[in-house]
Structure 1
Amino acid sequence: MPRIGEEHAARRREAGHGADFLEALARGLAVLQAFGPERRQMTLAEVARAVDLPRATVRRALHTLVVLGHVESDGRLFRLTPRVLRLAAGYLGASGVSTVLQPLCERLAAEAGGPCSAAVLDGAEIVFVAYGRPRLMLNVSTMVGSRLPAFCTALGRVLLAHLPEAESAAALRPFPVTPRTETDPARLQDLVAAARAEGHALVEQEAELGFRSLAVPLPRQDGRVVAALNIGMPMEGETGEAFRARWLPRLLQEAAEASPLLL
């Protein structure tokens, strides 16, 4: 385990965080972010390994989070509580993106008969901020707040396309999500460039086998892209080109109507 003092001070200097950077807060947030679908509950030792911090430091962070109500424990295992959702609710309420896009996604999902979602970019991942699905589609796990890799999703490629090229290339961290996932960095950069030039991205079976997704950017009033909108469908029934021809005009129409409402 690393020693906190000199090593963390050196990391802070190298990262350029500055003298006002609050290390204790950063460690507490790291502990919160260690939990997820693959790590729903953990022991103290498991959390310490996940965040690469000394057990004594993690013990204090967990104790503080338990006192604040964000984490609960049975004496051995720690898990998040619903109070953590207040953090996400603060973002969703303050940005207004979810408020604008949730009704849009529900309307498009009902029309398309398949899931419709909106997402924002967070580093190398997309985060869903709105999600709609047909009433008869029961077995769908993707919901607001969940994450996927940006490089292999239509939403992600559209969002990466509106970053500076160097920043976009740095966010491409490919790995095989499915046997159809494109993992060649040069080819991925070409696909992102194509999304930039064409104003949309179509991805088939790279994030989920048997599933295709079409996405367009969502710019706000000043032209900056702040989110992306997509429709997804099973591969059966029509070609990718037919799917694109049918749904791209609708996505572009909805994006044009939503953009003036995004702040």
Structure 2
Amino acid sequence: MPKLKRPSDGDNRGATDFIESLDRGLRLLEMFGSSQQAMTLSDLAKEAGLPRATARRILFTLERAGFVATDGKLFRLTPRVLVLASSFLVSNHVVSVLQPALDKLSSEAQEISSMAILDGNDVVFIARASPTRIFSAGIDIGYRLPAFCTSVGRVLLSRLPDDELAAALDRMDLAALTPFTVTDRKLLLKTIIADRAKGYSLVDREAEPGFRSVSVPVRRYDGAIVAAINMGAHVDRVSAAEMIERFLPRLREAAASVKSLLV
């Protein structure tokens, strides 16, 4: 079986600086996110592209460290893995600055608000706020979606120059998630460039059926886009026009309120 390797990061570090066993262990941890249930050794090895014996040794190590538990057949993550996520959230300057702004935004609008960053071809939601009247469900911290068909993703992609944006879209797998997902590269390029000019992105039922959202960029002190924040709702409850009229000004206000604090 071919060795499992991550794509080259393009720097000048040699092969001796790369710890393949650690890389494989992290990859195996990521595989648990592909299923909502506990997984067998064989399933995990297959998902990670690893020999069964290698996956077994990694899982035994993770179990000894407290990150994985097993009944002898099925493996599942333990709450200890949250230490890894919480370390990022605590140390991330953008999250610490934006969370109070998201809380204020959500409370005033009485809607759920979220923040995302770009990770490869996906967006990852790293902060969230919800009014007390709304049950906390759906998109949560750590949730991933393709960048090309989400409002936060298009806002984040808009920071790229046109030629880099076109190249980024060429590298993406533009698989439709709903009947409304735009997968035409030329149209996506045109749409994202237009969103850049407007300063916001509105995506209607492209990422999730029956759901639309509007997003704005979060800029640091020098104007560089470091994140995106959004608000969304079911299409039967909030129209696209209402999102522009009611949500967009609040999102812009929240983003502007933290610009001088982000370095």
Aligned sequence identity (%): 44
Structure 2 residue 116 is matched with structure 1 residue 113: no
Q: 1:58 to 1:254 in 2, by over 3 A?
A: same
Per-residue CA deviations over 1:73-92 (Å, capped at 9, x if unaligned) read 11111111111111111111
Distance 1:171 1:257, change over 3 A: farther
For residues 174-230 of structure 1, the C-alpha deviation after alignment (integer angstroms, 9 at most, x for no partner) is 222122111222222222222222211001111222222110111122332111011
The answer to whether the Cα contact below 8 Å between 1:116 and 1:232 also exists between their aligned partners in 2 is: yes
Corresponding position of 1:124: 121
SS of the residue 2:192 aligns to: helix
1:257 is paired with a residue whose SS is helix
Measured in 1, the distance between the counterparts of 2:105 and 2:19 equals: 43
Check 1:59–1:188 CA distance in 2 against 1; reply closer, same or farther (3 A cut).
same
The equivalent of 1:51 in structure 2 is 48
Partner of 2:184: 184
* Corresponding position of 2:226: 226
| 1: CA distance, partners of 2:63 / 2:45 | 16
Q: CA deviation at 1:235?
A: 2.2
1:121-200 alignment runs, 5 A limit: 121-138=118-135, 140-163=137-160, 164-166=164-166, 168-170=168-170, 172-200=172-200
Shift of 1:13: 9.5
CA distance in 1, matches of 2:69, 2:54: 17
Query: How much does 1:250 deviate?
Result: 2.0
Aligned residues: CA RMSD: 2.2
Which segment drifts farther, 228-237 or 163-172?
Answer: 163-172
> CA distance change for structure 1 residues 15 and 92 in 2, over 3 Å: closer, same or farther?
closer
Contact 1:160–1:192 (CA under 8 A) maintained in structure 2:
yes
Once the two structures are TM-superposed, the CA of residue 26 in structure 1 deviates from its matched residue by 0.7
The alignment status of 1:84 with 2:81, answered yes or no, reads yes
Change (3 A) 1:207 1:86: same
Q: Give the Cα separation in 2 of the matches to 1:230 and 1:81.
A: 30
Do the aligned partners of 1:172 and 1:185 also contact (CA within 8 Å) in 2? no
Which of 14, 21, 46 is the aligned partner of 1:18?
A: 14
Distance 1:15 1:222, change over 3 A: closer
Query: Which residue in 2 is equivalent to 1:70?
Result: 67
State the alpha-carbon separation in 2 of the partners of residues 103 and 13 from structure 1: 36
Letter in 2 for 1:180: F
1:93, 1:170 → 2: CA distance?
35
Distance 1:32 1:114 in 2: 33
Task: Indicate whether 1:29 and 2:26 are aligned.
Answer: yes
CA distance in 2, matches of 1:167, 1:62: 38
Deviation string for 1:13-72 (max 9, x for gaps)? 977673111111110110000111625321111011001111111111111111111111
The SS at the match of 1:36 is helix
What secondary structure does 2:187 align onto? Answer: helix
Moved more, 207-216 or 45-54: 207-216
Aligned pairs, number: 257
- The DSSP-based 3-state class of the residue aligned with 2:148 is coil
Cα displacement (A) at 1:245? 3.0
After superposition, residues 225-244 of structure 1 pair within 5 angstroms as 225-236=225-236, 239-244=239-244
Q: Which amino acid aligns with 1:179?
A: P
Question: Relative to structure 1, is the Cα distance of residues 37 and 136 closer, same or farther in structure 2, using a 3 angstrom cutoff?
Answer: farther
Deviation at 1:134? 2.4
Give 3-state SS (helix, strand or coil) of 1:151's partner: helix
- Whether the 8 Å CA contact 1:203–1:212 is kept in 2: the answer is yes
Whole-Å separation in 2 of the counterparts to 1:106 and 1:174: 33
Aligned partners of 2:95 and 2:206: how far apart in 1? 26
Check whether the contact 2:210–2:234 (CA below 8 A) recurs between aligned residues: yes
